[in-house]
Amino acid sequence: MPPPARRHRFEDQEAPRASIATILAGRALVNERLQSIEIAIDEHGRIHSLGKVRGGGPRHDVGDSVILPAATDLHVHLREPGGPAEAETIASGTIAAAAGGVALVGEMPNTRPPVTDPDVLREKESRVRGHAAVDVLLYASAGGARDLAALARVAGAFKLYLSPTTGIGSPPPPSEVPPLLEALGALGLPLSVHAEDPRLFGAGGAPKGLAEWDAYRPLRAERAALETLRSAPAALRLHVAHVTSASEIPSLRAQGVSFEVTPHHLLLSERSPLAAWGKVNPPLRSDAERAALWAAFQAGEVPCVASDHAPHPASDKDLPFPRAPSGVPGVETMLPLLLARVRAGELRLPTLVRAACDRPARWFGQPIGRIAPGHRAHLVVVDFRRRTRIEGRRLHSACGWTPFEGFEAIFPVEHYQDGVRIVEAGEYVGGPSGRVVRPEFAPGAAPG
């Protein structure tokens, strides 16, 4: 008869002494609950065990602060290669991410040249190595690629633009979208879609303000593009970028599609006094639409929040509205803005952590985003008493401005990457230790 299986209690999950490099102690969000706990981190930077650790490495108690998993931002534009460097570089944008509690960014392919072949992707990889402060997953462009299978072997995910936007002149014609989705479904990589149907964009005159921009690229263009995506094969790990329409959320959920909303669509509207500094694709919507999106987010109906960090030089955003480029920065402010909403009692902490940390990491197939044994120790420490006001000139992005000037925020006081501190007392102290990561899906695992 085999011996009875040894039952491990929580506290029993102890590592052999030598392999524990650090112990973090304090209140941590584990299994969606704040619990007083010790987190043992092994020499490879993985969370080894949770509970009372006897012996082991140096112990750091965070006191009254709270330990959370660091965030994953599925949607950033680091503008490299091709620039402009006054907007961002891989170094500046990932330092901004680190300071904002983001451990992993998904870097979009609308750089110059666009990432439509494996050589361009590899060149981008070499720019990340030795320069990035946090981990980077590189998207390849599904539109305009000659050999999708070759790209799928090197990229981390695909991006498909259904409408023109910065760096994207001509999206694939609508008739080519269903076969493209079919082909992508067979390749196994996640696909994020910019869902606006340009056939429904207003013709004629140049919009001169945010309300006119909303009318020019209206909600119905987003709805029409989402309709096109209903033909997607079930095998495709489909994700819709920057959803702005709360009324589409029930059907996206029913379809089992992943999607993100952005902090700017949650917190800003076409009535915000930003002029072209708030010009973005898809546009900021009416305040009623924004409020409905926020209500859905609060209710936990939105799987992911992502910044769509799209910096442009201040001199370009200062141009007359029709000539100013679309896009706003946001990777550094995403988590801090939403932590301030938690502190204000408007958002539950587990809802935020699910949307900013856990679900995005799962969609990227990464063992991060939860405080759980086996996960990489990408963690942040937050002191909810340390409220500040956002100032663009103090942020780390090269662009030097933010659409959230003066908004209340709570920046992490510490950020650990694989158990090593890269932000200390709110200051970035790391080096270029970010890695290029690719999805680690179990073979045959279902999308979602």
Residue of 73, 117, 308, 358 with catalytic role: 308
310 binds ligand DOR (CB under 6 A): yes
Binding-site member from 46, 48, 75, 77 for ligand DOR (CB under 6 A): 77
The listed partner (Zn ion, ligand DOR, none) that binds 283, CB under 5 to 8 Å by sort, is none
Do the bridges between strand 135-141 and strand 102-107 make them parallel or antiparallel, or are there none, so unpaired?
parallel
What strands lie across the sheet with 135-141, from one edge to the other?
71-76, 102-107, 135-141, 157-161, 190-194, 237-240, 258-261, 304-305
402 binds ligand DOR (CB under 6 A): no
d(CA 86, CA 445): 42
Binding region for ligand DOR (CB under 6 A) out of 164-172, 298-306, 378-386, 435-443: 164-172
**C-beta of 69 vs 282, nearer to ligand DOR:** 282
The listed partner (ligand DOR, Zn ion, none) that binds 327, CB under 5 to 8 Å by sort, is ligand DOR
The listed partner (Zn ion, ligand DOR, none) that binds 49, CB under 5 to 8 Å by sort, is none
**C-beta of 101 vs 327, nearer to ligand DOR:** 327
| DSSP-derived 3-state class of residue 302 | coil
| DSSP-derived 3-state class of residue 16 | coil
What region, left, alpha or beta, does residue 63 occupy, with left being phi > 0 and alpha being psi -120 to 50 degrees? left
265 binds ligand DOR (CB under 6 A): no
The listed partner (Zn ion, ligand DOR, none) that binds 207, CB under 5 to 8 Å by sort, is none
d(CA 434, CA 106): 12
**C-beta of 197 vs 308, nearer to Zn ion:** 308
Token pair listed for 130 = 């030795």
**Rounded least distance, CB 193 to ligand DOR, Å:** 11
Binding-site member from 124, 127, 194, 317 for ligand DOR (CB under 6 A): 194
* Active site annotation includes 117: no
Beta carbons of 263 and 73 less than 8 angstroms apart:
no
Residue with CB nearest Zn ion?
308
**Rounded least distance, CB 287 to Zn ion, Å:** 23
| DSSP-derived 3-state class of residue 381 | strand
d(CA 213, CA 196): 14
**Rounded least distance, CB 262 to Zn ion, Å:** 9
327 binds ligand DOR (CB under 6 A): yes
Give the Å distances, CA to CA, from 147 to 11, 154, 162.
51, 12, 19
Beta carbons of 97 and 328 less than 8 angstroms apart:
no
Beta carbons of 105 and 93 less than 8 angstroms apart:
yes
d(CA 400, CA 380): 24
For the CA atoms of 174, 179, 181, 186, what is the dihedral angle to 10 degrees? -170
Beta carbons of 147 and 199 less than 8 angstroms apart:
no
**Rounded least distance, CB 88 to ligand DOR, Å:** 10
Binding region for ligand DOR (CB under 6 A) out of 163-171, 254-262, 264-272, 424-432: 163-171
**Residue 116 CB neighbours (<10 A):** 19
166 binds ligand DOR (CB under 6 A): yes
Contact positions with ligand DOR (CB under 6 A) in 275-294: 280-281
Beta carbons of 338 and 356 less than 8 angstroms apart:
yes
d(CA 272, CA 403): 9
Q: What are the residues binding Zn ion (CB under 5 A)?
A: 308
**Rounded least distance, CB 283 to ligand DOR, Å:** 9
The listed partner (ligand DOR, Zn ion, none) that binds 280, CB under 5 to 8 Å by sort, is ligand DOR
388 binds ligand DOR (CB under 6 A): no
d(CA 305, CA 263): 7
165 binds ligand DOR (CB under 6 A): yes
With CB under 6 A as the rule, give the number of residues binding ligand DOR. Answer: 11
**Rounded least distance, CB 293 to ligand DOR, Å:** 17
**Rounded least distance, CB 77 to Zn ion, Å:** 6
d(CA 405, CA 217): 25
Catalytic residues: 308
In the complex, which residues of this chain contact ligand DOR (CB under 6 A)?
Answer: 77, 110, 165-167, 194, 280-281, 310, 326-327
